[in-house]
Amino acid sequence: MTLFTIDEVRKTFKNGEVEEEILKGINLSLKEGEITALVGASGSGKSTLLTIAAGLQPATYGQVLFEEQNLMTMSTEQVRKLRASKFGFVFQFAHLVPFLTVEEQLLLMLEVADSSLKKHEQKHEVNRLLQLVGMAHRMTAYPSSLSGGEKQRVAIARAIIHQPKVLFADEPTASLDSQRSKEIMLLLRELTKTLNITTLMVTHDEEMLAYADRIIKMSDGVVLPSAMY
């Protein structure tokens, strides 16, 4: 079932007097429980497309439809609420809050998402999810004492603790070594399937494409039709 539709999205940046079109009319739909990988050379527009889809920046033209609501016509506050409750984010770097423990990182996300769970239920949920990503034993650790792979696992747990409908992952393995990258991708795939999350992932690492259900290749601001599979 289609959950997310990107319709004729264009993005233009002004560089001094010159206008540069980064996205030239992108059409895309994302299905529930699928990992869609966006690949392409640097400057192809894949990261820009992901951030527009995630409501982190507006498109110059076009629609981004999520559950039949157009993100482009929503207010900043409406988009924030949507990001907090329905979207999850995993970035190239874990970007954990340095003064919160692993457990608190996840509890904060539940608070941001206005979770209806009671305190003890929240703690239980955090524990369950940390077990799922194999980090339950580091619950009280601060980010400074975690390895890169551990941080990314916590970042993934934080991204899905509030049961988002869509997970946006921007180069989630770029800062990790090959072994850790595979572990993280396996984890992402498993969670996507188990929790029925729609995942849109940007990557430049061809090895990671093996974990995607669908691969979309972009070049010079357009989707290459022949490269959609």
- Quote the longest CA-to-CA distance of the chain: 57
Residue with tokens 């004492």: 145
> Is residue 111 near other proteins by the rule CB under 8 A?
yes
> Is residue 183 near other proteins by the rule CB under 8 A?
no
Please say which residue, 162 or 217, places its beta carbon nearer to other proteins: 162
> Is residue 229 near other proteins by the rule CB under 8 A?
no
> Looking at 44, 45, 72, 89, which residue binds other proteins (CB under 8 A)?
89
The H or E element that residue 195 is part of is: helix 178-195
> Is residue 142 near other proteins by the rule CB under 8 A?
yes
Rounded distance between C-alpha atoms, residue 101 and residue 96, angstroms: 9
CB of 212 to other proteins, least distance (A): 21
> Looking at 80, 124, 128, 137, which residue binds other proteins (CB under 8 A)?
80
> Is residue 61 near other proteins by the rule CB under 8 A?
no
> Looking at 5, 115, 163, 175, which residue binds other proteins (CB under 8 A)?
175
> Is residue 225 near other proteins by the rule CB under 8 A?
no
Binding mask 185-224 for other proteins (x = CB under 8 A): ----------------------------------------
| Spatial strand order in the sheet of 214-219 | 87-90, 166-170, 198-202, 35-40, 214-219, 222-223
Name residue 195's amino acid: L
Please say which residue, 6 or 109, places its beta carbon nearer to other proteins: 109
CB of 42 to other proteins, least distance (A): 13
> Looking at 99, 118, 120, 225, which residue binds other proteins (CB under 8 A)?
99
Specify the stretch interacting with other proteins by CB under 8 A; choose among 8-16, 34-42, 109-117, 188-196.
Answer: 109-117
> Is residue 165 near other proteins by the rule CB under 8 A?
no
User: Any long-range contacts for 219-227 (C-beta under 8 Å, 24+ apart)?
Assistant: 219/40, 219/41, 219/44, 220/24, 220/43, 220/44, 220/45, 221/11, 221/21, 221/22, 221/23, 221/24, 221/26, 221/44, 221/45, 222/24, 222/25, 222/26, 223/26, 223/27, 223/28
Q: E strands, the chain, where?
A: 2-15, 18-31, 35-40, 61-66, 69-70, 87-90, 166-170, 198-202, 214-219, 222-223
> Is residue 74 near other proteins by the rule CB under 8 A?
no
Return residues touching other proteins (CB under 8 A): 51, 56-57, 80-81, 83-85, 87, 89, 91-95, 97-100, 104, 107-109, 111-113, 142, 158, 170, 175
